[in-house]
Amino acid sequence: MQIWQHTEHFSFANPVVTIGIFDGVHAGHRYMLEKLKSVAKSVKGESVVLTLWPHPRQVLNNDSRSLKYLSSFDEKVLLLDKTGIDHLVVIEFTKDFSQLASCRFIKEVLVDKIGIHHLITGHNHKFGRNREGDFLNLKKCAELYKFTIEQSEPLLNGGEMISSTLIRDLLMNGKLEEANKYLGYNYFLQGKVTGGNRIGRLIGFPTANISPHDTHKLIPGDGVYAVNLESESVVYDGMLNIGIRPTLNSNMENKTIEVNIFDFEGDLYGGDVTLTFRKRIRDEKKFDNIEQLKQQLVKDREVAKGILRSKP
């Protein structure tokens, strides 16, 4: 996949284009991207995904702290690359860009610069100033500028439409397995190992604190999870706690992401890692004393090891 972070000097053959945020690049997105590739192949063309960054809400909202997305920019690029598309075009989203009418964007970018042959839109996708660019308006623009257009049907699972919003809600409510089903892969997070208070080491369960690379990355709901941790291309098994550690922590505002890596003696401090969430084991719980916590952690470790021995 070739990445373009500008809109100059393109030279695409019969480009078949789709436009979107593609947060999480979930199963519904990949369903449409397979169609994109199929149409491109049928016209001896190239598949082109056009996305916007930063996320529009980061630019347009006065307070975007509540914004949580399934994939950071780097994670999105990684996921899109795995789909086998030919080109990813990244358009910088600014307040000025948000005022651009949809048909003007089509003329100035898709037609004049990309040389669009065919456009595939999502079933409810809208873009342009005030989200005016719905399918009917885009179809008029396509007729005006002599390219073809079609609207992709949504991917349904048991009658429910797969969407980024649905998956975010599932993850925040601790429904990891259902979210992973709709994603089509195990949810993951890229971050850095940071310093902690080393209490886990004192009770026989040393942990690595993980700080996500992107502060807007969605963190799954509090609880204990079976996870894989990848560091420098080596994958380890472990169990992870998301929450406030109520048995050990007197500061209820201090939420952490801590992973206990099985059979590991090294030091990952300062290193970049990828956490992959395999299964949620239980809710976070406050125990009466440290000994009860240790006994539960022993049980959690055995459960996690059993989960992680199975196929990802």
What pLDDT is stored for residue 205 in this prediction? 87
What pLDDT is stored for residue 110 in this prediction? 93
Torsion from C-alpha of 117, 122, 124, 127, nearest 10 degrees: -50
DSSP classification of residue 286: -
53 phi, psi to nearest 5 deg? -155, 135
> Of 262, 226, 216, nearest to 57 (Cα)?
216
Which class for 251: exposed (0-12), middle (13-18), buried (19 or more C-beta within 10 A)? Answer: exposed
What pLDDT is stored for residue 200 in this prediction? 65
pLDDT tens string 173-190: 999 999 999 999 999 999
Q: Which residues of the chain have pLDDT under 70?
A: 7-8, 63, 126, 128-133, 196-200, 202, 245-254, 312
What pLDDT is stored for residue 129 in this prediction? 63
Domain with CATH 2.40.30.30 in the chain: 186-309
Superfamily of domain 186-309: Riboflavin kinase-like (2.40.30.30)
What pLDDT is stored for residue 7 in this prediction? 64
What pLDDT is stored for residue 249 in this prediction? 62
Fold of the 2-151 domain: Rossmann fold (3.40.50)
